[in-house]
Amino acid sequence: MEFISFRADKELKKQMEVLAKLENKNKSDEYREIFLMGLEEKKKDIALKKYQTGKISLGKAAELAGLTSWEFLQLLKERNIPMNITKDEILKGVGNL
């Protein structure tokens, strides 16, 4: 495992320490978990933006987000984002059933 560091203001550091204490974890483990949660959310946000602008297909967006196509469709629904799906993508999806 590699070492990563970043600067945090006092308030952010305090909030992260409170979370670690609440979950009875050491600070390093808690920071890593928070970072990974943020990383997963960031991947979803980037995939959604690229999908909305038509830069990538639904399948590629799902892959970028680390989700299945069906999970990505659910994410679109949850965030009230209209589907940008082509006839070919629908037929491809049906063929995978």
pTM of the model as a whole:
0.76
In a domain, 51, yes or no: yes
Task: Count Cβ atoms within 10 A of the Cβ of residue 53 and give its class: 0-12 exposed, 13-18 middle, 19 or more buried.
Answer: exposed
In a domain, 71, yes or no: yes
Report how far apart, in Å, the C-alpha atoms of 22 and of each of 25, 70, 77 are. Answer: 8, 35, 33
State how many domains the chain has.
1
In a domain, 4, yes or no: no
Domain limits for position 25: 10-95
In this prediction, residues 8-35 reach a mean pLDDT of 92
Q: What is the pLDDT of residue 71?
A: 94
| pLDDT tens-place string over residues 55-96 | 998 899 999 999 998 999 999 999 999 887 767 766 776 555
